[in-house]
Amino acid sequence: MNTIYSINGPVVKVRDTDDFSMLEMVYAGENRLVGEVISITAEETTIQVYESTTGLKPGESVTGSGMPVSATLGPGILSNIFDGIERPLKKLEEASGAFISVGSEVPHLDMEKKFDVTIKVKTGDMLEGGDIYAVCPETPVIEHRCMVHPDLKGEVIWTAENGSYRVNDTVVKLKKADGTVEELTLCQKWPIKQARPFKKRLPIEKPLITGQRVIDTILPIAKGGTAAVPGGFGTGKTMTQHQLAKWCDADIIVYIGCGERGNEMTQVLEEFSELVDPRTGKALTDRTVLIANTSNMPVAAREASIYTGITLAEYYRDMGYHIAIMADSTSRWAEALREISGRLEEMPAEEGFPAYLPSRISEFYERAGYVESLNGAEGSVSIIGAVSPQGSDFSEPVTQNTKRFVRCFWALDKALAYARHYPAINWNDSYSEYTEDLSDYYTENVDEDFLKYRLEITKILHEENKLMEIVKLIGSDVLPEDQKLIIEIARTVRVGFLQQNAYHKDDTYVPLEKQHLMMGSILNLYENCKKAVAAGVSTAALLETGLFEKVIKIKYDIPNDCLEMFKQLDKEVEEGIKKTIREVT
């Protein structure tokens, strides 16, 4: 029997054994705490324990499970809330009350719940990894498709009747090439640190539509893409993630609360069960799975939570769904790596983070993508990771290393947040590499002028940025009229377009078509004003018309389903400015 030799926080060592393999899941001590083997030498095997080690003693036994730390994949994942190693928190509550005690063993999925299963194969069919053999409605909006484990293939020799089955009931029997029979249930296991295989990656060409103007229009993210949201505390990282989780057009949301506040997870739970998904008319929880490892839960499980989340996402991707992962916050995950690395007395690189930090971050983000799965279905995993830079300093290692591996960078800005300009994404510091990839989509599906408008808008913002340097030194009064106009138009863009009110019923989600029309109205105002300024009208006189305020308030005044009102507004602006020109000249 293998016994514990030393204990230091979550790190436990076993001496003189060769029974364990790397990344194997083990049970440590009398309470059977879940842990994972993280290093093996001839003398000692090192284990990181996913639960509190208080009370653990040297000499207590350590037993291996013979398999890596794995997620159980099957119906019952959606609408659920799990901890970092996929233990359902509601079941844990039933088992140990409001406070999580150590060594609670509960099955990952509800083993008693019955699902309405339709068998999709018949005796004699040859099946390969990824093939769908049964389907069942998991929630009112998502059909769960049970797929053959990627490592399996064989001939169907028996199938159950269509009917209601539990997760662990056998529904199909498969005869493998070596003659052994494999019983397929509704679920399978998959090691969380290993990416699930697919047939091939497909080019990225569809946007993940979020209904947030600054994202969809200025800094778009693609389905299968990656984005990082860095920002100091109070800049609205979590708020941005919540908005995306609520409104983005993915089929399924995996929300990973990694080392964050307990109350935030409670809020997501409450809010999402009340909110209705505009596309399906059903509760948002029907398409959401939450992974919660709050900041006071054991640190090793925090590292696992990220991998558990992405494994669940890949599983649904293989069924042919589009998944968006919100990871809040990846910095806490990096800190967990640092903490464990420190306990292992590894040589630190920057700021105490281990030298393998960049490779871990890249491994994680590379699991995103738009793919054709083994069964030929198209699916995608998009990752949106929050980063919490220490001291709001974007030069710290986690932000810098993340920046190298994502293609969308939404930098949150303290000054904007202080002025309560939300989402506080700074348009000057942020970028998206997807604009090019998505240009065909926007041109074909929204409007052929969309990209032209977008360019005009970003130009105005860029001009303003240059002018503000002068204004900060000498005030705006001394600028020539045409530059004053740019400042005012840029203000209209900022307040009327970029700023978005998450608590307003129309403004919280804005369809692309309206985003396009809003840009059109702002540019229409700009064009007309330019003519007026050229004719000698002062910017101050143009402001007095009240038309700027009118355009700013479009977001509230024109409901999302009355887009024909834009025509009238544009006309009104044109005539209003013409009238002013006449009066002045």
Partner 1 sequence: MSLQYVGLKEINGPLVVLDNVEDAAYDEVVEIRLDNGGTRIGRVVEISGKRVVLQVFEGTKGLSLKNTRTRFLGKPMEMPLSTELLGRVFNGAGRPVDGLGEIFPEKYADINGQPLNPVSRTYPRNYINTGISSIDALATLIRGQKLPIFSGSGLSHNKLAVQIVRQAKIAEDNGQGFAVVFAAMGVKNDVADYFRRSFEESGVLQRVVMFLNLSNDPIIERILTPRCALTAAEYLAFEKNMHILVILTDMTAYAEAVREFSSSKGEIPGRKGYPGYLYSDLASIYERAGIINDAQGSITQIPILTMPNDDITHPVPDLTGYITEGQIVLDRGLEQSGVYPPVSVLPSLSRLMKDGIGEGYTRADHSAVSNQLFASYAKVIDARALASVIGEDELSELDKSYMHFGRMFEKYFVAQRDDDNRRIEETLDLGWNLLSLLPESALERVDEQLLKEKYNPSAAELFE
CB atoms within 10 A of CB 363: 15
Find the binding residues for partner 1 in span 169-228 (CB under 8 A).
none
- Please answer whether residues 380 and 224 qualify as being in contact, where contact means their C-beta atoms are separated by less than 8 angstroms: yes
Q: Select from 86-94, 356-364, 423-431, 520-528 the region that touches partner 1 (CB under 8 A).
A: 86-94
Q: Select from 63-71, 168-176, 306-314, 547-555 the region that touches partner 1 (CB under 8 A).
A: 547-555
**Which of 105, 116, 128, 549 is close enough to bind partner 1 by CB under 8 A?**
549
Distance CA 333, CA 358 (A): 12
> Beta 288-294 vs 252-260: how paired, if at all?
parallel
Distance CA 137, CA 484 (A): 59
- Please answer whether residues 233 and 388 qualify as being in contact, where contact means their C-beta atoms are separated by less than 8 angstroms: yes
**42 lines the binding site for partner 1 (CB under 8 A):** no
Give min distance, CB of 87 to partner 1, in A: 10
Q: Select from 57-65, 459-467, 512-520, 575-583 the region that touches partner 1 (CB under 8 A).
A: 57-65
Q: Given the complex with partner 1, which of 171 and 416 has the nearer CB atom? A: 416
Q: Given the complex with partner 1, which of 207 and 231 has the nearer CB atom? A: 231
**Which of 392, 400, 458, 538 is close enough to bind partner 1 by CB under 8 A?**
392
Q: Select from 143-151, 231-239, 306-314, 575-583 the region that touches partner 1 (CB under 8 A).
A: 231-239
Distance CA 34, CA 51 (A): 7
Find the binding residues for partner 1 in span 317-336 (CB under 8 A).
332, 335
**475 lines the binding site for partner 1 (CB under 8 A):** yes
- Please answer whether residues 211 and 510 qualify as being in contact, where contact means their C-beta atoms are separated by less than 8 angstroms: yes
Distance CA 111, CA 477 (A): 72
Distance CA 406, CA 331 (A): 15
- Please answer whether residues 273 and 308 qualify as being in contact, where contact means their C-beta atoms are separated by less than 8 angstroms: no
Give min distance, CB of 156 to partner 1, in A: 40
**578 lines the binding site for partner 1 (CB under 8 A):** no
**Sequence-separated (6 or more) residues with CB below 8 Å from residue 344:** 11, 38, 39, 46
Find the binding residues for partner 1 in span 278-297 (CB under 8 A).
292, 294-297
Give min distance, CB of 13 to partner 1, in A: 8
Instruction: Give 234-294 as a DSSP string.
Output: TSSHHHHHHHHHHHS--SEEEEEEEEE-HHHHHHHHHHHHH-B-TTTSSBGGGGEEEEEEE
Find the binding residues for partner 1 in span 245-284 (CB under 8 A).
257, 259, 261-263, 265-267, 269-270
Coil, strand or helix: which one is 114? Answer: strand
Residues in binding contact with partner 1, number by CB under 8 A? 78
**Which of 66, 234, 376, 536 is close enough to bind partner 1 by CB under 8 A?**
234
Q: Given the complex with partner 1, which of 337 and 371 has the nearer CB atom? A: 337
Q: Given the complex with partner 1, which of 129 and 348 has the nearer CB atom? A: 348
Beta bridge partners of 230: 387
Give min distance, CB of 41 to partner 1, in A: 15
For residue 568, the surrounding DSSP H or E stretch is helix 565-584
**Which of 156, 299, 461, 498 is close enough to bind partner 1 by CB under 8 A?**
299
**Which of 42, 178, 503, 561 is close enough to bind partner 1 by CB under 8 A?**
503
Find the binding residues for partner 1 in span 348-387 (CB under 8 A).
348, 351-352
Greatest distance between any 2 Cα atoms in the chain:
97
Q: Select from 105-113, 220-228, 245-253, 471-479 the region that touches partner 1 (CB under 8 A).
A: 471-479
**Which of 89, 187, 227, 490 is close enough to bind partner 1 by CB under 8 A?**
89
**Which of 187, 326, 461, 552 is close enough to bind partner 1 by CB under 8 A?**
552
- Please answer whether residues 515 and 564 qualify as being in contact, where contact means their C-beta atoms are separated by less than 8 angstroms: no
Give min distance, CB of 489 to partner 1, in A: 15
> Beta 61-68 vs 24-28: how paired, if at all?
antiparallel
**Sequence-separated (6 or more) residues with CB below 8 Å from residue 10:** 48, 49, 50, 53, 298, 299, 300, 339, 340, 343
Omega into 362 within 30° of 0, i.e. cis?
no
Distance CA 436, CA 441 (A): 10
**469 lines the binding site for partner 1 (CB under 8 A):** no
**480 lines the binding site for partner 1 (CB under 8 A):** no
Give min distance, CB of 339 to partner 1, in A: 5
**505 lines the binding site for partner 1 (CB under 8 A):** no
Give min distance, CB of 475 to partner 1, in A: 5
Find the binding residues for partner 1 in span 426-465 (CB under 8 A).
none
Per-residue x/- track, 406-425, partner 1 (CB under 8 A) = ---------x--xxxx----
Place of tokens 């998206």: 432
Give min distance, CB of 201 to partner 1, in A: 35
Single-letter residue type at 126: M
Query: What's phi and psi for 307, nearest 5 deg?
Result: -70, -40
Find the binding residues for partner 1 in span 1-30 (CB under 8 A).
5-9, 13, 15
Q: Given the complex with partner 1, which of 262 and 376 has the nearer CB atom? A: 262
Instruction: Give 47-87 as a DSSP string.
Output: EEESS--TT--TT-EEEEEEEESEEEESTT-TT-EE-TTS-
CA–CA distances in Å: residue 413 to residues 48, 111, 399, 425: 37, 46, 14, 6
475: left (phi over 0), alpha (psi -120 to 50) or beta: left
Give min distance, CB of 307 to partner 1, in A: 19
Copy the structure tokens of residue 326.
Answer: 């919100």
Find the binding residues for partner 1 in span 96-125 (CB under 8 A).
97-101
For residue 465, the surrounding DSSP H or E stretch is helix 450-474
**Which of 21, 55, 66, 355 is close enough to bind partner 1 by CB under 8 A?**
55
Give min distance, CB of 380 to partner 1, in A: 28
Give min distance, CB of 257 to partner 1, in A: 8
Distance CA 159, CA 149 (A): 17
Place of tokens 């008319």: 281
Q: Given the complex with partner 1, which of 136 and 301 has the nearer CB atom? A: 301
Q: Given the complex with partner 1, which of 209 and 265 has the nearer CB atom? A: 265
**Which of 213, 322, 338, 367 is close enough to bind partner 1 by CB under 8 A?**
338
